[in-house]
Amino acid sequence: MRALAAVLVIVVTACAADEVEPWTYGEGLGTPENPIPEDNLPYAVTSRIDFTLNGTSPPAVADAVASLKAFAANPAKTMLGLADPTQVQQLKTAIGTTLSNNLEGWINTELDKARIATKTLRQVSTDVASITETSLTRFYLNSTLTMTPAKTTHALTGLNFKPASVDIVVLIGGISADQLTQHPALTVAEAGSLALGDHHFGLAFGDHAWSGINLATTTMFGNGVQTTFVNGTSCSTLAKAIAAKCSTTCVGHESELRAICDGATAKLVGQLRERVAAFHLDLFRFASGNAHLLDENYDGLADRITDGMWSVELNLGTGVRQASAPFTASK
């Protein structure tokens, strides 16, 4: 019995020695004046991201919308430039110089007759270009921030696009390129001071942005980008109208005109889709974050996070770009 008692004493003593002090944010914290985060409660975070430079989009973004802007300025010239060059040359050879010289003007006149939600196709093209630029450079990032003294988890949940006063939320996740959860270092100090350490995400941003662009276009014009432009150009109607144009002789060649129009419209939308999808944010870095915890019910636990500011870096394909991103959070 004495031997057994000795063993028990040793075991109990060893267990006591192995006990780890509970994690805390620091002495004197957890009061209304010095609040701390509520353990394991996800705070909903909204971060405002703006990667323009003095209001100017990065070159890669400008390239993505170049054809849309050219189409808005001169739809016919852009259409003939995007179409299969062999088809265009064969048509011009077949109809002769005089009719060929009038071709752009006739096409523009017909395209300008169409209306989509009261707007011309030129205006729609300008709007879609603006939606695209805004979506790729100025957006809101939704995330959750869950904090304990031992571990912090920052997880991306959605992208909020607001082009042309349209509020579009795209949930993110489910794409292999997405890396949505990180565990930054956390420091809580007096007066609710909050500091978050370096962490970074990977995001198939272009795929999510394309979803947002289509949703915004649908909200404004009733259909996504492709259907909006296909309906707006109405290639069968356009080809029939142009084929009937005459100057000494008539244009004809309705089927060739239809093929040129169909090919150009598909390329206009397809080119935009490819260039937007190319924006993969392999580097989406939150170098640091600073904010204040606000205790509104005086229980020593933060109800909101205010005055937040991230130091953010991303690479849109033209080198690393840095910016400051304001953020707020609440339970």
Q: Domain-by-domain residue ranges, the chain?
A: 43-48+134-206+279-330, 62-131+211-277
pLDDT tens per residue, range 281-295: 767 899 999 999 999
Sign of CA dihedral 203, 204, 208, 214: positive
pLDDT for residue 13: 42
Q: Which of 324, 245, 239 is CA-nearest to residue 286?
A: 324
pLDDT for residue 261: 98
Instruction: Look up residue 286 and give its two tokens.
Output: 């939150």
111: left (phi over 0), alpha (psi -120 to 50) or beta: alpha
pLDDT tens per residue, range 62-100: 999 999 999 999 999 999 999 999 999 999 999 999 999
Determine what percent of the chain is predicted with pLDDT higher than 70.
91
pLDDT tens per residue, range 189-222: 999 999 999 999 888 888 999 999 999 999 999 9
Mean pLDDT of 312-325: 78
Q: Which of 131, 76, 128, 133 is CA-nearest to residue 107?
A: 76
pLDDT for residue 318: 61
Q: Which of 304, 300, 294 is CA-nearest to residue 32?
A: 300
What is the maximal distance between C-alpha atoms in the chain? 123
- What is the rounded distance in angstroms from the CA atom of residue 290 to the CA atom of residue 282? 24
pLDDT tens per residue, range 244-296: 999 989 999 999 999 999 999 999 999 999 999 988 776 789 999 999 999 99
- Which amino acid is residue 224, in one-letter code? G
pLDDT for residue 144: 97
**CB neighbourhood size of 225 (10 A):** 24
- Report whether pLDDT(20) > 70: no
- Report whether pLDDT(53) > 80: no
- Which amino acid is residue 162, in one-letter code? K
Please tell me whether residue 84 adopts helix, strand or coil conformation: coil
- Report whether pLDDT(15) > 80: no
